[in-house]
Amino acid sequence: MTNGNGPAGQAQRTALVVGATGIAGSALVERLTSEGWAVLALSRRPGPERDGVRWLSADLTSADAVSAALADERPTHVFFTAWSRQDTEEANIEVNAGMLRDLLLALRGKDVAHVALMTGLKHYLGPFEAYAAGQMPDTPFHEEEPRLPVRNFYYAQEDELFAAAAEQGFTWSVHRAHTVIGHAVGNAMNMGLTLATQATLCREAGEPFVFPGSETQWNGLTDMTDAGLLAEHMVWAATAPAAADEAFNIVNGDVFRWRWMWPRLAAYFGVEWEGYSGAPRPLEQAMAGRDGQWAALAERHGLVEPRLDRMASWWHTDGDLGRDIEVVTDMGKSRAAGFTGYRRTPDAFTTLFDRYRAEHLIP
């Protein structure tokens, strides 16, 4: 087995990014190519052409399609960020653990050094069906906490990873992110683009930018994960011996309160704002029926995405901002193992919004 870390290791490294058009996967493709890796990027639909990247197209729910797509490939490091949202947790387990299992099976005998798996804080909070509903570990969340006594597709994915690592001899890492903000369009969960879309719609309609969530989220401490930092963390863990065979939380490294952040986001967009006032005001209701408004706005400003449902994931932002519990994440384990990456969350938001503007996603 090659470990990819020797003097010649760098030159021999080939990354396989699975879910490469997603919010995490696309940040990984950017990070890895900027570091000079050869990148195999896998998803059903190809992403943008980029030097050093070769797109592979396969549906991960078909073991045959995955094994055919990877038959002639020799990745040394694998980054698994694919996700397919299902209606129930049982279906999430079947589909998402199955996609990882079949992908790893297709890599048998290929000298893979490391597999990094992205999961998230639902590891501590519980799956969508029982989200923040049962007993939870105390905040800040620490990696050493035992699993919750409920079925969870993250646990099922971890178990597939551990079993394949033991059988195939690669090292592994698990990356538990909080809410990720990053650059992806049409993906399932994207709070950055969702809030940018909400603010734009509100400004254009002369309405205030209303905080949709709970009193606890408005007033309490919380944190967030920038997709670029997550990519740095996954690449670090894939190549640092101290990170082998470990699960890590990954958040920006600062904490904030939404009552402090919300006016700052509003100021960026030049829109009036309203905070929590008595009850949550979910976006799914407040933003319903605005597809035509967005399409017209997109045409007026020459924007590239006229479909509101590809810009905003209202349900997901409602879920994250509507929680009635505090969510704060400990980064001590990563730091002790040598990861010093950091983002200021307000800067992560504005850098991302600047990019959306530059790419004509928002005016």
Binding site residues, ligand NAP, CB under 6 A: 19-25, 43-45, 59-61, 81-84, 118-120, 177, 179-180, 184, 187-189
* Chain centre distance of CA 177: 7
Closer CB to ligand NAP, residue 45 or residue 135? 45
Tell me how far CA of residue 268 lies from CA of 261, 264, 295, 357, in angstroms. Answer: 11, 6, 22, 12
Indicate the residue among 104 and 177 with the shorter CB distance to ligand NAP: 177
Distances (CA, A) of 244 to 177, 180, 247: 18, 23, 9
Q: What is the DSSP string of 58-110?
A: --TT-HHHHHHHHTT---SEEEE------SSHHHHIIIIIHHHHHHHHHTTTS
Active site residues: 122, 154
- Given the complex with ligand NAP, which of 4 and 120 has the nearer CB atom? 120
DSSP 357: H
For ligand NAP, the closer of residues 73 and 111 by Cβ is: 73
Closer by beta carbon to ligand NAP, 43 or else 197: 43
Phi and psi dihedrals of 312, rounded to 5? -120, 140
Minimum CB distance to ligand NAP, residue 249 (Å): 11
Report DSSP letters for 147-166, one per residue. PPSS--HHHHHHHHHHHHHH
- Least gap, CB of 180 to ligand NAP (angstroms): 4
For 55, the enclosing helix (H) or strand (E) is: strand 53-57
DSSP letters, 221-270, are EE--EEHHHHHHHHHHHHH-GGGTTEEEEE--S--EEHHHHHHHHHHHHT
The smaller minimum CB distance to ligand NAP, of residues 44 and 142, is found at 44
> Least CB distance from residue 357 to ligand NAP, whole Å?
21
Using CB positions, name the residue nearest to ligand NAP. Answer: 22
C-alpha separations of 41 from 54, 103, 117, 209, 290 in Å: 6, 13, 15, 37, 34
Residue 114, both tokens? 């490391």
Closest CA to 161 of 267, 281, 280, 244: 244
d(CA 222, CA 13): 36
